[in-house]
Amino acid sequence: MTVDDSLTDWPVDLRGVTESVVATLGPNDLWNMAALGLHAPDEPGEPVEATTWGNTRTKRNFHRQGGGVVQFTADPREFVESAVTIREESEPVFPHADAWVEIEAQSVDSGTDGGTEWERWEIRPTAAGTIEESRPLTINRGFYAVVDATVAASRLDVPAFETDVLIGRLRYFEETVEKCGGPQEREAFATLSEESGWREY
């Protein structure tokens, strides 16, 4: 069996695009929490990549600090707050994070898409990851609807995406959360709706 060296120091298995929260240290000495999709490599030995869109705090802190802390949380409220609000903490890891790892981020490409600047980063662990909790995998459609909804909401003001299509997706995700999610998922979606204002479009 071939071992992918680029993944051996990650505390969790990465495949496709794995959603995470990245903590980056800002100039105010607080950790900014933001959602970050980690693109697992297609070939062994290639690095994990991530893309930042716009002039975000994550992008600026990556340039300033050269890295941060990637963590994995199953709490949809923490994920949504990181994705759609400005959440800053004195510590880089959420109290209930299941796993985390310190990383370095190296810019490898940049450009513009639909009038929005993007930058691609190679993400590499700089230390062994920490696994706080191992638990059986359960499938909750509401949770995944919340994650997809944050992506749709983040694209509302991007010219390359059709607003009507995004609103249709958000309505579908809202219905899925109501039918299939629990209290945490519904609370997370309420925060997403309030912060994004998608119903007013």
Query: Within a domain: residue 175?
Result: yes
Query: Within a domain: residue 157?
Result: yes
Assess whether 116 and 31 both reside in one domain.
yes
pLDDT at 133: 65
pLDDT at 136: 60
pLDDT tens-place string over residues 90-123: 999 998 899 999 999 999 999 998 888 999 999 9
The domain that holds 88 is classified in CATH as 2.30.110.10
Which two three-digit tokens encode residue 77?
């409220």
The domain in which residue 66 lies consists of 17-131
- pTM score of the predicted model: 0.84
Query: Within a domain: residue 3?
Result: no
- Mean of the per-residue pLDDT values of the chain: 91
Which residues are CB-neighbours of 39 under 8 A, at least 6 positions away? 16, 17, 48, 49, 50, 51
Which 3 state secondary structure label does DSSP give 195? Answer: helix
Query: Within a domain: residue 4?
Result: no
Residue 1: pLDDT over 70: no
Query: Within a domain: residue 11?
Result: no
Assess whether 110 and 170 both reside in one domain.
no
Beta pairing, strands 48-53 & 116-125? antiparallel
Assess whether 85 and 149 both reside in one domain.
no
